[in-house]
Structure 1
């Protein structure tokens, strides 16, 4: 470009700035759901030194901000309680811009990789169970809206994304995150409030894809040069890149006021060293909470489902599930849902299981119980508590049974091993006898091939389906008592 063209381009920019009207990020738009009963963030850009006035349809209060040298402005607006009454917001810098059909409700982020991204209509050769029913019933869920943030890579954090809010109806429901939408269905009906879903995710992404540059430089050996990433044999596909997806796909939503975060990710971290994923996930949650600046946002996440991972009898998958389970113990204000039972036997090589409605419903149970304080719900899956070995028998107690097991006999998924560390399929059944030693009622596990058991496992293979659950039908988390 010659000097004349450069001068002309510069003049064009100055002229455009002089005539600029208020510019809003795309996430602030018609049909959006604003977080109810909160101080919601509103922000944008304008000519430096411009006074931007903000008014709302629900209040006489006026808000204003003056743009800085960078042209940015921001205000916090007190929002009303949830309702289905359409609202509007007007921005005025001398020329008015009005957003319409806004609802106040509950806003949740849908983050993670492809099993969160997976839409109600499914992917190619990856259907979602219940699609037609979701379309037929879409009009029953008034006030459920969503915005899909495009999956974009960037070496620097982006402040905007090309997106728009959509109302759920038969024509739009197919493009919504299935897990997120089925979560929204339950919350919408249980609380009778509008629900907004902010879908910021990327199929195949690793936990490192969402961590920021400072963290990755300090705590990992990840190469953060985007050009070198393209030549690094470690990254066979671009969805494995660190940093870039967080910068391009998640950073644009960090100013938006939300209620909490839903997360479904982990498949691309299978094989991580013990404890690494646990810590990095906990650190990612801390990073997001810091950047949203809205306190200790609730964080509910999904344990990855059984998948062959190249060897149905291997244990790389359950070792990652174990790290996820441990993460739930150290992340404050969090909860994890188990999906051990949400894979059909014929889905051994299907990394996108079709049963997404129960996943969303279980996330909703966590939120309704822990965030919204709804009483009487069974929201936790059963977990291993303790075992006692008596001769050739392993006696087992569990937490979160809610007073019942889903079955007494025909239990599948348990294995026991002796000192040789070789695990064998085991028979498990309900045991009860009179007594008061604390073990008069339990599950007893035995195997004819193990006379002196020392360790117990449940569904601790890449693809091993169990069938044990609690009174709420929530499955037993895979576990092991050994550290081999």
Structure 2
């Protein structure tokens, strides 16, 4: 009855290597492979004795094999309801006509917890009194093969006979073949990148790359909007390119190879932005999906009710640190609705909502963030190498990469562990896998972890931006950053120095002058006692108006006044500002605040400041011969200088005197 345990085990070992490494052993083929065995599960009606609503039985026949250790709720999983499984569960494949079957490939769940497994199984063919195969699956994520004598049946059932303590056992994918000689290695090697899944949003008006893994020489066919695009896998990867598409949808994108078809349903074409950074970018809309110290965004209950916006989708990139670049780590798209938006990263959500309302096209947001991280892990090694001022960091990252490569070569099955604080680790584990995907631009909200860097942060931003643009290969795409809100970083960093944060602001403002880089100032959207200000809507919308003006050419105010130059006048200093054509104003109607002035002694005193056209005139009776002015130059500064559109002026200083961070160059 069925194959022996030895055959299952031996074939399973070989197949597991394919899934874990995304590669096949053996010499590279020079010619395309012949026709592959067809996965019969794709044409079956799939039902189960028990299933969870978000992890249904149909997921095992969706053509997707997600990688080991991907998210537990990955789109390739079926799980049973523990209370109704009663120690066993069945999953069935039914066809309209009797079908010959002879082989089953069971791909275990992509993530396993202790006790979450069924092991003993029987395979039953309708019309046969006895099981056609029985045995025991191993508790692991990879594929395991069961072969048996060919049998013709309208329904094949896999019965899991006993639960070993788990409430949610199940499967990632199940493949069914008609012959025991099916080339299963080819079938399980084929996998589109996880970002190609249901509800995806692809970038309009640009060539769009579609890619994934497969056996060397495999032909891949991608069908979209009535056209078919073909390519051959080279080594273990493949890639083809769709021509530019106008905004629209929903559409279906089908990818076929090795007898399997993966269908991406409900695909929209619109605008795609990557959102990255640390906790302020990661913060969700609702408090229920964040530790209790975070109470959600301002008016979160009302925001959730108003979130029936299916034209906005968000792709969550799993948090993975790696010493080398990873091709795929899982993830899935979610459609914006009152049921899902609570878990959406709030800043990109509000950013996308404003774009959606204004542009009238679908918006795809890729959440690639991780709280309490530094800028260095998000930067590529190539980006670090491009900036001479970062030689010390680059040397550390280069040494780490060499050690990683050596350890991986010695034991390919066990990549060395990596930490999210090490340079390049998050670029490798989270950003690199996205770089073939066409995007419009990126938004960046980070710096809390780098307070104290001073102008060194400017060089780090240069490296980050250069590395990302080089990796995507789409030119100088827009890169929009958030200038941090005022906060008592002395309390946070164990220092009383009030100038560390302004020094970082200065670095962020300097980066905003780089080609196609811009910045949103949020000194008026803060809580100096809360490092996570809850008004994420204002932050996201402020980034959106920067994008609308700079990227999409909208005639809208996008930034507050920016320092231009100063003129020394008797007893006062005239500070000229770039107002963008808007009048200067006090946003609260009170006298201008947070101006200080100093003479040659470099001692700054509080100053009076008055608006005079496109300039501010600054004076102090304590400084009869002033030399320099500073504005908002304190970690707690919430100044009121703005333009008539209500956008705040960015902090600045006219001097180049040493700032008391201890880290200035």
TM-score grouping bracket, smaller chain normalisation: 0.7 to 0.9
Residue 14 of structure 2 corresponds to residue 10 of structure 1: yes
Give ranges in structure 1 of 5+ residues lacking alignment.
230-236, 433-440
Residue 510 of structure 2 corresponds to residue 326 of structure 1: yes
CA distance in 1, matches of 2:616, 2:215: 70
TM-score, reference length from structure 1: 0.88
- Residue 179 of structure 2 is matched in structure 1 by none
* Pairwise CA distance, 1:239: 4.4
Structure ID, larger Rg: 2
Higher relative contact order (CA 8 A, sep 6+): 1
CA distance in 2, matches of 1:406, 1:12: 65
* Pairwise CA distance, 1:241: 2.3
Residue 499 of structure 2 corresponds to residue 315 of structure 1: yes
Residue 250 of structure 2 corresponds to residue 86 of structure 1: yes
CA distance in 1, matches of 2:341, 2:184: 39
* Pairwise CA distance, 1:228: 10
What SS does the corresponding residue of 2:241 show, helix, strand or coil?
A: strand
Q: Kindly provide the CA deviation profile for residues 122-152 of structure 1, in whole angstroms up to 9, marking residues without a partner as x.
A: 543233213112101001x330000110111
CA distance in 1, matches of 2:461, 2:496: 26
- Residue 380 of structure 2 is matched in structure 1 by 212
With over 3 angstroms needed to count, the CA separation of the structure-2 counterparts of 1:424 and 1:131, relative to structure 1, is same
Q: Kindly provide the CA deviation profile for residues 12-68 of structure 1, in whole angstroms up to 9, marking residues without a partner as x.
A: 657641443631121110011011122111011122221111111x23x21011112
- Residue 304 of structure 1 is matched in structure 2 by 484
- Residue 177 of structure 1 is matched in structure 2 by 345
Q: Kindly provide the CA deviation profile for residues 273-295 of structure 1, in whole angstroms up to 9, marking residues without a partner as x.
A: 53x22122122212111111222
What SS does the corresponding residue of 1:325 show, helix, strand or coil?
A: helix
- Residue 627 of structure 2 is matched in structure 1 by 454
Q: 1:478 aligns with which of 632, 651, 654?
A: 651
CA distance in 2, matches of 1:169, 1:199: 17
- Residue 403 of structure 1 is matched in structure 2 by 582
What SS does the corresponding residue of 1:351 show, helix, strand or coil?
A: coil
- Residue 593 of structure 2 is matched in structure 1 by 412
Please give the root-mean-square deviation of Cα atoms over the aligned residues, in Å. 2.5
With over 3 angstroms needed to count, the CA separation of the structure-2 counterparts of 1:228 and 1:46, relative to structure 1, is closer
* Pairwise CA distance, 1:270: 1.7
Q: Is the 8 A contact 2:187 2:260 kept in 1?
A: no
Q: 1:66 aligns with which of 218, 229, 232?
A: 232
What SS does the corresponding residue of 1:469 show, helix, strand or coil?
A: strand
TM-score, reference length from structure 2: 0.65
* Pairwise CA distance, 1:326: 0.7
Q: 1:443 aligns with which of 616, 634, 639?
A: 616
* Pairwise CA distance, 1:216: 4.3
Q: Is the 8 A contact 1:205 1:241 kept in 2?
A: no
- Residue 435 of structure 1 is matched in structure 2 by none
CA distance in 2, matches of 1:446, 1:250: 49
With over 3 angstroms needed to count, the CA separation of the structure-2 counterparts of 1:66 and 1:406, relative to structure 1, is same
What SS does the corresponding residue of 2:647 show, helix, strand or coil?
A: coil
- Residue 386 of structure 1 is matched in structure 2 by 565
Q: Which deviates further from its counterpart, 201-210 or 452-461?
A: 201-210
* Pairwise CA distance, 1:7: 8.8
Q: Is the 8 A contact 1:210 1:250 kept in 2?
A: yes
Residue 463 of structure 2 corresponds to residue 283 of structure 1: yes
What SS does the corresponding residue of 1:366 show, helix, strand or coil?
A: helix
Residue 264 of structure 2 corresponds to residue 108 of structure 1: no
Q: 2:216 aligns with which of 17, 33, 48?
A: 48
Q: Kindly provide the CA deviation profile for residues 431-468 of structure 1, in whole angstroms up to 9, marking residues without a partner as x.
A: 47xxxxxxxx7422222322222111111111111011
* Residues paired across the two proteins, number: 455
CA distance in 2, matches of 1:90, 1:336: 39
With over 3 angstroms needed to count, the CA separation of the structure-2 counterparts of 1:272 and 1:95, relative to structure 1, is same
Q: 1:469 aligns with which of 642, 646, 654?
A: 642
CA distance in 2, matches of 1:50, 1:227: 33
Q: Is the 8 A contact 1:27 1:161 kept in 2?
A: no
